[in-house]
Homo-oligomer: A and B are copies of this chain.
Amino acid sequence: MNTEERLIESTRALLWERGYLGTSPKAIQQRAGAGQGSMYHHFAGKHGLALTAIRRTAEELQAVAEARLSVPGTALERITAYLRRERDVLKGCPVGRLTQDPDVMADPALRAPVEDTLAWLRTRLAQVLDEGRAAGELDRRLDPPATAAAIVAVLQGGYVLARASGTTDPFDQAVSGVLALLAAHAPETARQRA
């Protein structure tokens, strides 16, 4: 990795672990093994670096989610693949975490990728649920946008519960819980096929 890349990756890691306030220019430089001059050669400052870092984290999250949600299979299988993908649960979601960061939320530019990513995720899951309804895999009474919001909330809240307990168990339980509730929404015929 060149210096610019190392600066971006160090900022991403620090934002995830320490938040905006806890991410000092000095800490970024130390982690990246870069000098102050080098940092200001590539970026106007901490804000510009944080913006690049947050945008990249947001893009990666969307790409990873899309990869799981577009596997072949039923809506329930695709959502299961997404929820059950390997995650560093105890570190939490690098995007969701930023919603608890007052400095990020107060800055429209830093906040935009956070807002856009979580909105995209809800829309994409609602699409998958809608496809499942159209294919007769899910009950027609199921409301795709509300169900999608609940699924994304389970993920984000699952991280919160896991961090509180210091184990991944409550995350896994919450995911199992919502998948079981969703599976019960499959019409009898679809359930028998599964």
A interface residues (Cβ-Cβ under 8 A, vs B): 17-19, 21-22, 92, 96-97, 99-102, 105, 111, 114-115, 118-119, 122, 139, 141-143, 145-158, 160-161, 163-166, 170-171, 173-178, 180-182, 184-185
Contacts and interface: CB of A to CB of B under 8 A. Distances in A.
Contacts of A175: 150
Given A152-B157, A157-B152, A105 B177 contact: no
Contacts of A122: 161, 170
Given A115-B164, A165-B119, A174-B150, A92 B102 contact: no
Given A21-B19, A163-B99, A174-B152, A139 B184 contact: yes
Number of copies: 2
A147 B177 contact: yes
Nearest to A95: B164
Contacts of A174: 146, 149-150, 152-153
Given A17-B102, A100-B163, 7 more contacts: A92-B99, A119-B165, A152-B170, A153-B154, A154-B157, A160-B160, A184-B184
A104 to B, nearest CB: 10
Given A22-B102, A154-B154, A157-B156, A149 B177 contact: yes
A100 to B, nearest CB: 4
B146 A152 contact: no
B149 A161 contact: yes
B158 A177 contact: no
A149 B89 CA distance: 15
Nearest to A119: B165
A13 to B, nearest CB: 13
Given A17-B102, A105-B163, A157-B156, A146 B173 contact: yes
26 contacts: A17-B102, A18-B102, A96-B157, A99-B160, A100-B160, A115-B164, A118-B160, A118-B161, A122-B161, A141-B184, A143-B176, A149-B170, A149-B173, A150-B154, A150-B174, A150-B175, A150-B176, A152-B161, A152-B174, A153-B154, A153-B178, A154-B178, A155-B157, A157-B158, A181-B181, A184-B184
